[in-house]
């Protein structure tokens, strides 16, 4: 799913579902970060750069979660997408990982919601 499609998909979700999705995304980003760190084809400089921007993105996601938990949803899905785009532009390697991670999170969310 493209980021634009993800925004449309998330826009149809309740605040509770957006919180669940965001928390799952943070969990999946932890796995993503381990994969980045253990990539033998990347230099240490590239790894640190990816993790730096991933950490910044995680801060933005936590802020979105806090707002959603307060019942405030000011286009959180657009904010999430804008942050993913911005931090992905800071590191092409991170961008590739983020695309796969977001799609994996959507699959996990759908699985979780079907139970």
The structure tokens listed for 54 are: 């991933």
Residue 58 CA: distances (Å) to CA of 11, 113, 115: 20, 23, 27
Q: What is the pLDDT of residues 69-112, one digit of tens each?
A: 999 999 999 999 999 999 999 999 999 999 999 999 999 999 99
H or E element: which one contains 112? helix 92-114
Q: What is the pLDDT of residues 40-58, one digit of tens each?
A: 999 999 999 999 999 999 9
């Amino acid at each position: 799913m493209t980021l634009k499609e993800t925004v449309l998909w998330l826009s149809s979700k309740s605040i509770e579902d957006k919180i669940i999705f965001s928390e799952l995304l943070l969990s999946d980003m932890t796995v993503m970060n381990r994969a980045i760190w253990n990539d033998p084809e990347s230099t240490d400089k590239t790894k640190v750069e990816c993790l730096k921007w991933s950490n910044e993105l995680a801060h933005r996601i936590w802020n979105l979660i806090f707002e959603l938990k307060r019942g405030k949803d000011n286009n959180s899905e657009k904010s999430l997408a804008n942050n993913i785009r911005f931090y992905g532009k800071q590191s092409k390697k991170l961008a590739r990982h983020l695309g796969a991670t977001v799609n994996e999170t959507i699959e996990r969310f759908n699985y979780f919601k079907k139970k």
